[in-house]
Structures are given as C-alpha cells and as structure tokens.
Structure 1
C-alpha cells in the first residue's frame, strides 16, 4: 500500500503546480491538519487502495485548503480530494470551483457545530456572551497581565479563526478579549492542563471531535440568528472591518470534495467519493482513537474498513 511519504522534491513539484510522477488514475488526497480530516483521509485512502482495487496517496504537507482547491480545479492529479470541506467557512472555494467553474464535485454533507466552550466547572460563572462583557469575568482569563482575557480562536491559517475574531468585535468584546491563535495540538495540551487544574479557559471548538468525549464541556450561549446578523467576507483584505457576525453560527455542512477530472481519470473513485456518507458519531470514534488514544490513523482506517464492508460496499456500488 502506498504510504503518505511524498515529501521533498515531489511536494515541491506539487505546490509549484506540476503533477506528480504517478499514474493518471492515482487519487491524490490532501493532508489537512486537524484530526478529523486525517481520519477521513485515511479511510478514503484505505477504501481506494483496498476494496476499490485502485491507487490513492495522502500527500504529506499538502495542508493548504486553497492549494488543494486549485489543484482540484486544474484536474492534473496534483490534488484530487479535499477531505473535510466546512461550509460556509470555505464559501469562496465553493463559489469559485463548485458553483462557478464546476470543476469540483462533492458528496452529501454531514452536520457539524461551531461554538465557544468553557469547562463545565465554570458553567455557573460563564454561560453566555453577556457574561463575557463583564470585566471581572474577562480578567479571570487574562494570562499575560495585559488587561485582556485570552480565548482560543483556532490556528492562524483557519477561516474559522477569523470568524471568531469578527464575532468578538461584533459583540463589542474587543476591549476585554483577545484571540490566542495557536496550533490545535498546542491548544489541546493547554485544555488538558486547564481541566486538570480547574483553571479558566475559553475556546472555540467544533463537533465531531474527541475533546467532547474526553472532557465535560459547557457551550456559551449566543444570540439567536436573525436576518442580517451574519455578514462576513473573510477573504477581503480588510476582513475584520468588512465583516460582522453577532449571532449563533449555523450548523456547518461538511463535505468530501473531489476533482471532477476523476470522472474520466478514475470513474470508480469519483463515484465512490460522490456517494460516501459520513456519520458524525462514527467520525468521532475515529478521532477518539487517533487523537486521544494515539493509534496510527492508517491502522484505525484499515481496521474500520475491514469490519464495516457492508457500509463500504454501499459507498462503492
């Protein structure tokens, strides 16, 4: 089985826009950075290399969603699968390549939530956006002594990170709070420590993810959605000033997206990718085994495929 070890010169050729030296039918899978997408990518790889009797490869380091989308659009095999396309977070990709150029296809989505959380032991003090407007509450979360409470909004490159910075501005919280934008793994280590020591921590998170199984977390209530409460342009140069978002997020729709060039390069793979139907509870189980239990994602994927061929056959046939 092909392993996800394509680095160095191969990755340079990929990101420079050239196709990898591989068979035209090979399905090239992106390597996005969060655990859920790693789990999904390895299941897709295991199915294509196994029951589908074809060839797929996860390209290590192919982690920029915009680069993956551009590769799917080109259709040259440089990038074929975007494993976890969150909508509306990646609306620009959808508008340009799904609705616009029509070079990218997708499956039916599963639902994901996006909320702010605190550990449950803080729920009696912090339970709503209104609570965050209290200077005494914000001071509880001030790590560096600069007078502002910190919250984790996500990694630097994520569109959801910008979304939460827009929300805090729109809620009038910018004078009391500041985003702490760190890699997911770094944040998870902080969360573990905060829960163990019962220290304040405020953070964005999503479902499905294993932290919800590992810790008792309490969501922060936001105002209900109303017409016009969300007007965001996260791709604008002045995205923070140009956007407003003062209500709860809609449940996200999460897709597997793929290059339509596969419909001619590898029709069986294209059919499978259009029909894969992910269950968020199952995805959460994959994430738990990979993220918390530290099992090899390839082993988790191959074991699951072997034990669930009735589901896999439904996706393939």
Structure 2
C-alpha cells in the first residue's frame, strides 16, 4: 500500500527508538489507523496480562518494511496483526511460503473493501458503479479545488491496496478524470467528515471493519465480481515496472485479515506464538473499538484493555487456560 522510503519511514528502527524496541520481550508496529491499532493493542494487553510480557510498539505505515523487519527475525518487529489477503499475497508468498521466515496464523476474520461514497452521492447524483466515474462530468462532482478534476482517495502511502487502487482507476477508465490522492487516512477522513456534514459527494477507498461505517451513511460502489484473470497484481517491491505489468478490472476476492509473526517468535515466546494461532476476532468488535478510538477519542490502550476484560473467557482460551 504505498511509496517506500525504506531508510526513513521506519524511524523507530534507528537510534534510541531501536534500543527501546529491542529491550522489550516483543515488538509490534502501530500503523496509525484505528482498526489495526485496536487489534495491536488487544494482542499487547492480552500478552502483558496473560504472560507478563513487556510489549513495545514502533510507528510505521510502510507494510513492506514491516515484513522485511519480521523477515530479519531480530526483534525489530515480531508481530504484524493486519495482514489483508489478497492485498498482501505477494508478501505472504515471499516470506511465509518462500523463505519461511514469517508465519501466518490460520485464523482470520472476513473484511470488505472497494470504493465507497456518501449516500447522497447515490441518491442525488445516481453514482452507483465504478463505471459511472469514467465520465468527466460525473468526476467534476467530486472536485473541491476547482481544477476540473474530481478527487478520489486511493489509500495511504505504504498500503498494498493503494497500488491496487491506482491500477483499478486506470483499468476502470476513470484515472484521467480524477486526482488520485495518496494521503494519510486521517486527512482523507477529515475530507469525508466535511462532505458528509455538508451533504456533498465524496469518494475513496473504503475497507471494513472500520469506524466510518458506524459513523457515516456510506454506500459501496458496484464493481464486477472478482475474476482472477482480471485481477493480476504486481507490487513495487517485486518489480519496478509493477504498474504496467498489473491488471485490475474486477473487484476483490473474498477478503480476510490475519496475524503474521516472525518465525523466531515461536522459539523465543512459544506461549505467545501458540496464542496468536488461536486468536479470533469479530469484525463488528474491531469496528466498535475503532469507533471508540477515533470518534470518542478514547486511548487505544484503554479501549483494548476494556475489550480484553469484557471478553476474558475468549482471551483465556487463546492462551490455553
């Protein structure tokens, strides 16, 4: 999902940040978007409560960097709780199936992703399908800066899905009519919030579970059913000519979210690794936690601890109690 500033993005891997991360028993990344932050904090709270571990966090949004860190198995990143499939299939193929330096927990939960719009975009302007975007007049409905092009959020820098959406925009035929914005999710959410309050059109990449589905009246745009022959994804970390070699002219296949962890964790923290294989979350719970974090401004650590307390029976099962 993004452009990869490998030397600068993972600032916590240098200097004092690195030292503090390695001093802990386990290190996890916080990608600064609420659903992943919520799940990360649930794992952190449960591991600290059940096993007495010290769990530290580092901040990054570059997914390939996270996988590279797990691949090194040096404690830079031990657990990545937000593996979206098929988005991150290339990384799974490389590190889980290929080098076998990373393990992928079998359990996961279902998710949805695609383009969504504010409901009034459908009711007032009859924008229902991705193909409705391949029209310069329709695109102008989403123009907020007066340059004649609409704005559409592709995702954040560093997300595998952002690159997929760029190819989709080209192959669905609307890229030339839009400014394909790659910006932080918080900035995109601010634009969505403004549009929703003013009952104006907005469009962007949407994924669920997510707090926005609880907060706003949104509609997913229709896309062709997933066709593997029309969903060929090459990522920049695999080939510099990824954009031209990719073809995405259908919707996503069934999407699931999993936990990945460095293979060495099974030796260093076997009880935690065993628990990661058992963790199962409900999508609606993840959305609710994200809503508490973003909308109600509760600290993510507090939200996670409350969830762990309310679901102690499940947590105990994860850890074999």
TM-score by length of 1: 0.90
Structure 1 partner of 2:5: none
Asked whether 1:12 is paired with 2:10, we answer: no
Structure 2 partner of 1:64: 62
Structure 2 partner of 1:109: 108
Range with greater deviation from structure 2 (163-172 or 69-78): 69-78
Range with greater deviation from structure 2 (267-276 or 50-59): 50-59
Asked whether 1:251 is paired with 2:254, we answer: yes
Unmatched segments (≥5 aa) in structure 2: 1-9
Structure 1 partner of 2:47: 48
Give the drift of 1:145.
3.0
Structure 2 partner of 1:283: 286
Shift of the 9–233 alpha-carbon distance from structure 1 to 2, 3 Å rule, reads: closer
Give a deviation string over 1:84-140, Cα, whole Å, max 9, x none.
Answer: 011221223211111011121122121111111111112132001222123221121
- Provide the secondary structure at the position in 2 that maps to 1:83: strand
Contact 1:153 1:164 in 2 (8 A): yes
Give the drift of 1:157.
2.3
Unmatched segments (≥5 aa) in structure 1: 1-7
Contact 1:113 1:250 in 2 (8 A): no
Distance 1:260 1:275 in 2: 16
Structure 2 partner of 1:119: 118
How many pairs does the alignment contain?
A: 306
Distance 1:299 1:277 in 2: 20
Shift of the 175–67 alpha-carbon distance from structure 1 to 2, 3 Å rule, reads: closer
Counterparts of residues 1-317 of structure 1 (less than 5 Å): 11-13=13-15, 20-22=21-23, 26-59=25-58, 61-107=59-105, 108-124=107-123, 125-235=126-236, 236-317=239-320
Range with greater deviation from structure 2 (131-140 or 277-286): 131-140
Contact 1:153 1:165 in 2 (8 A): yes
Give the drift of 1:279.
1.2
Structure 1 partner of 2:7: none
Give the drift of 1:293.
0.9
Distance 2:72 2:57 in 1: 18
Distance 1:14 1:86 in 2: 31
TM-score by length of 2: 0.89
Distance 1:141 1:10 in 2: 37
Q: List structure 1 runs of 4+ shifted beyond 4 angstroms.
A: 13-16, 18-21
Structure that is richer in helix per residue: 2
